Structure 1
Amino acid sequence: MLELTLPGMTCGGCARGVTAAIKSVDPAAEVMTDVPGRTVRIESSAKAEAIKAAVAEAGYTAA
């Protein structure tokens, strides 16, 4: 389980973009976004660094 705080995730469109970025690394990943809390929880076999890189490439800074 990986949990990231994404201050720039402010709407459903952002959540879809973040989810797509994560799924590009691991299509089988379970992604749970919380837009009001600006967090995303990921269950994935992919490395955390790869997920963070994909999220950053999509334009979001992960804390």
Structure 2
Amino acid sequence: MTNHQTVSFAVEDMTCGHCARAITSAVEAAAPGAIVSVDLAIHRVTVSGAADRSAIAEAIAAEGYTPIALDAA
């Protein structure tokens, strides 16, 4: 059974729309069907429907950004 959850990351080096699009595309490729929400104002990426937190972090890092996992609220 796959455990789908919502995961959030602080990505302080995400500063513009290009950054947000690059991260969104990378996460969608790593977790097909996941819903990606980006808040540039607070440098946060939230992914709903993701099964693997580490795969999401690796996808963000592969784009050249520094994801910091946040505890689930």
TM-score (norm 1): 0.93
Cα-Cα RMSD: 0.9
Unaligned 5+ segments in structure 1 are: none
**Larger strand share, 1 or 2:** 2
1:7-22 aligned at under 5 Å gives the runs 7-22=12-27
Q: Deviations 1:18-56 (Å, cap 9, x if unpaired)?
A: 001101111211001000110011012330011100110
Unaligned 5+ segments in structure 2 are: 1-5, 69-73
Equivalenced residues, count: 63
TM-score (norm 2): 0.81
Does residue 46 of structure 2 align to residue 57 of structure 1? Answer: no
Counting aligned pairs with the same residue, the percent is 35
